[in-house]
Amino acid sequence: MGRHKILNTPAVRRMPSYLHCLAGMVESGLEFASTSALAAYISVDPIVVRKDVELTGLKGCPGVGYRTKDLMEAIRCYLGWNRSRSAILVGAGSLGGALLGHRDFAEAGLCFTGVFDSDGGKIGREVAGGLRVEDVAELSRRVGELRPQIAVICVPVGVAQKVVDELVGCGVKAFWNFANVCLNVPPDVVVQREVIAGGLAMLSMKLKTHAAC
Amino acid sequence: MGRHKILNTPAVRRMPSYLHCLAGMVESGLEFASTSALAAYISVDPIVVRKDVELTGLKGCPGVGYRTKDLMEAIRCYLGWNRSRSAILVGAGSLGGALLGHRDFAEAGLCFTGVFDSDGGKIGREVAGGLRVEDVAELSRRVGELRPQIAVICVPVGVAQKVVDELVGCGVKAFWNFANVCLNVPPDVVVQREVIAGGLAMLSMKLKTHAAC
DNA sequence: TAGATTGTTAATCGATTAACAATC
DNA sequence: TAGATTGTTAATCGATTAACAATC
A41: nearest CA partner in chain B: B182
Across A17-40, average pLDDT: 97
Check if B207 contacts A (Cβ < 8 Å).
yes
Q: Considering any atom of strand C, list protein residues whose CB lies within 7 Å.
A: A 34-36, 46-47, 50-51, 53-54, 58-66; B 6-11, 44-45, 47-48, 51, 61-64
Check if A124 contacts B (Cβ < 8 Å).
no
B206:A190 CB<8 A? yes
Q: Considering any atom of strand D, list protein residues whose CB lies within 7 Å.
A: A 6-11, 44-45, 47-48, 51, 61-64; B 34-36, 46-47, 50-51, 53-54, 58-66
- Lowest mean pLDDT segment, chosen from A28-32, A193-197, B41-45, B102-106: B102-106
A157: nearest CA partner in chain B: B103
Across A183-212, average pLDDT: 92
Confidence of residue B1 (pLDDT cuts 50, 70, 90): very low
CB atoms within 10 A of CB A103: 9
Cβ distance A81 to A122 under 8 Å? no
Report, in ranges, which bases of strand D sit under 7 Å from a protein C-beta.
3-8, 14-19, 22-24
pLDDT of residue B153: 98
Across A64-70, average pLDDT: 97
pLDDT of residue B26: 97
pLDDT of residue B213: 44
Query: Of B81, B97, B94, whose CA–CA distance to B18 is shortest?
Result: B81
* Closest nucleotide relative to residue B6's CA, C1' based: C14
Q: Is the pLDDT of residue A5 over 70?
A: no
Mean pLDDT, chain A, whole residue set = 94
Cβ distance B33 to B65 under 8 Å? yes
* pTM as predicted: 0.95
Beta bridge partners of A86: A111
Q: Please state, in angstroms and rounded to a whole number, the distance separating the CA atoms of residues A85 and B84.
A: 42
What pLDDT, in 10s, does the model give residues B131-168?
999 999 999 999 999 999 999 999 999 999 999 999 99
pLDDT of residue A210: 77
- Distance in Å from D15's C1' to A178's CA comes to 27
Across A36-45, average pLDDT: 96
Across B16-31, average pLDDT: 96
pLDDT of residue B106: 85
What pLDDT, in 10s, does the model give residues A106-151?
889 999 999 999 999 999 999 988 899 999 999 999 999 999 999 9
B180 vs B106, higher pLDDT: B180
Q: What percent of chain A has pLDDT over 90?
A: 91
Q: What percent of chain A has pLDDT over 70?
A: 96
Q: Please state, in angstroms and rounded to a whole number, the distance separating the CA atoms of residues A75 and B21.
A: 37
